[in-house]
Structure 1
């Protein structure tokens, strides 16, 4: 979890806009160690506690539609590393090949069980495995696909200094982002344009603020807010 030395960062991240956030995080060694310890301990406990629920949801998904239980899409995490995220499949098989990478409101690709699971964010539960493995953290910028990371400004690249997260203030504030995207597409934009031009910049304001004010207490507070 500790931040690398500046000259060890990927070259594309060694830009002046990232440096202020890097300097802030570099001074918070103890906080970062506590963050990783929290992730390891709590994700392990949750894997044990949630195993019956994960098993039941897996059967429900399998009975509802053809295809795998998990959706393993490639996402981007710390330092631009590619990893495969664990999520319960809530859409038809090969949904990303027959539509956009962003889910829209009333998306026809969503299965019956998927619509119910998504309402309660239960499709995110398997990400406790990603947290335990170190690809993600409980709190941090949501992991994007490469296509959207390529649209980041230099300042947005600072969010890659830490592992991607399951939740964040941006995720809480924009939990209904599909409504915004639908509004913008009705105005003539494509789904990708609406996400990159209207949703992503606003979410990133919260993500960058998180880096600026990072501490383990704030992480715990965001976890509580997410549950509430």
Structure 2
């Protein structure tokens, strides 16, 4: 940290959200420079230029998306400290983000003080998961649900992005547009995902996503 003030690279595709985060974070005396960008594709280049102490990143972005951005940035810059700040509060998203390389996870529904505390904590080299997002110790699921979770956990970041969109009701064309991918690429992912999960329909994908808490019914 430069002069005990934390520099931040803020990544979110909504301009209004970025402006709100900037105001929120600037109110903290320990926050220094804040740079914001709107796409995951720009993160590595801006990280190289800025060398921020913390990258605060949304997951739901067009293009390569948040999870793939985390994976790529951590591969290129292993020292990168990434804090996810997302509307998704389901445990599967927390797990995927941490697996990709994030050091912390906070819900956008949390209070401003929580985000500030999370930024300070990860900047100190510690992990921060918002208390409400931690999985229940006694969370017991039927065996078949655990099998689905094991398969979903093995999906690549891009496969997971496609899975979430198809399970939420998007067509392959809509998912392709949202992710800035070719239709054939998404169709191939769709085939691979269904094969791995041993299902044949979009309704079955949706059911698995609901059961695992990835989307709400």
Higher helix share: 1
Higher strand share: 2
Which TM-score applies when normalising by structure 1?
0.25
Identify the structure with bigger relative contact order (alpha carbons < 8 Å, sequence gap 6+).
1
